[in-house]
């Protein structure tokens, strides 16, 4: 009897050690966006990172670069949408998902709608300028036809701390920038 139970138990147990499950897909791509944000910080840009993914494949990754490009529109989201669209040779990014570390502003939320993105996944909310429900609601506004599936709060604490650390360091170096919170 005992043998039988043992045999049954063995049959249902895995034969090899179970590897730890890989982190959920959204977290994996958000970590990639965080690495982009860190690149931005090293360049002295407000550290926001973004990644465009289609069917599990990374099409483009970018970080904020308005200072270096002398371009007020060079937010990570705009740059990554442009790069992905060039790759697909299509200004519509249907079926594509955008991962970004911070809630997009009104300009970027508008571009996400124009691009017909499938999903937007962001990390930390931006209560001052976030246009996906925090300060404004551009994304999924009732007047707009296109709907974007929204996932928020993915690695939110890490995404927020990248920005907070950046401004803390900058305030220490140059107290006159204390009130500048956005690029």
Binding to Zn ion by residue 125, rule CB under 5 A?
A: no
Q: Which of 31/75 has CB closer to Zn ion?
A: 75
Residues touching Zn ion, count (CB under 5 A) = 4
Mask for 18-57, x = binds Zn ion (CB under 5 A): ----------------------------------------
Q: Which of 75/82 has CB closer to Zn ion?
A: 75
Strands of the sheet containing 57-63, edge to edge, are 57-63, 49-54, 96-102, 119-124, 149-152
CB 55 → Zn ion: shortest distance, Å? Answer: 25
Give Cα 95 distance to the centre of its chain.
16
Q: What are phi and psi of 149, to 5 degrees?
A: -70, 130
Q: How many helices (H) and strands (E) does the chain have?
A: 6, 5
Q: Which of 28/83 has CB closer to Zn ion?
A: 83
In DSSP terms, which residues pair with 100 in a beta bridge? 50, 122
CB 106 → Zn ion: shortest distance, Å? Answer: 8
Secondary structure, 3-state, 9-47 = HHHHCCCCCCCCCCCCHHHHHHHHHHHHHHHHHHCCCCC
Mask for 63-92, x = binds Zn ion (CB under 5 A): ------------x-----------------
Q: Binder to Zn ion among 53, 105, 117, 163 (CB under 5 A)?
A: 105
CB 32 → Zn ion: shortest distance, Å? Answer: 19
Determine the Cα–Cα distance for residues 59 and 69; give it in Å rounded to an integer. Answer: 22
Spell out the residues 6+ positions from residue 111 whose beta carbon is closer than 8 angstroms to its own: 77, 78, 81
Q: Is 77 a catalytic residue?
A: yes
Binding to Zn ion by residue 108, rule CB under 5 A?
A: yes
Residues of the shown chain interacting with Zn ion in the complex, contacts defined by CB under 5 A: 75, 105, 107-108
Active site residues: 77
């Amino acid at each position: 009897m005992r043998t039988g139970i043992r045999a049954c138990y063995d049959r249902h147990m895995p034969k090899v050690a179970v590897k730890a499950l890989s982190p959920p897909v959204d977290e994996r791509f958000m970590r990639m966006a965080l690495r982009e944000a860190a690149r931005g910080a090293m360049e002295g840009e407000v550290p926001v990172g973004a990644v465009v993914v289609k069917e599990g494949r990374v099409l483009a990754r970018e970080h904020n670069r308005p200072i270096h490009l002398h371009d007020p529109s060079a937010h990570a989201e705009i740059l990554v949408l442009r790069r992905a669209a060039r790759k697909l040779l299509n200004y519509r990014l249907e079926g594509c998902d955008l991962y970004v570390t911070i809630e997009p502003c009104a300009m970027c939320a508008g571009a996400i709608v124009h691009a017909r993105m499938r999903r937007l996944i962001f990390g930390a909310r931006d209560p001052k300028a976030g246009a996906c429900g925090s300060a404004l609601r551009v994304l999924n506004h009732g007047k707009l036809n296109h709907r974007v599936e929204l996932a928020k709060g993915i690695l939110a604490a890490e995404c927020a701390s990248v920005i907070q650390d950046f401004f803390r360091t900058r305030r220490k170096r140059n107290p006159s920038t204390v009130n500048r919170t956005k690029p």
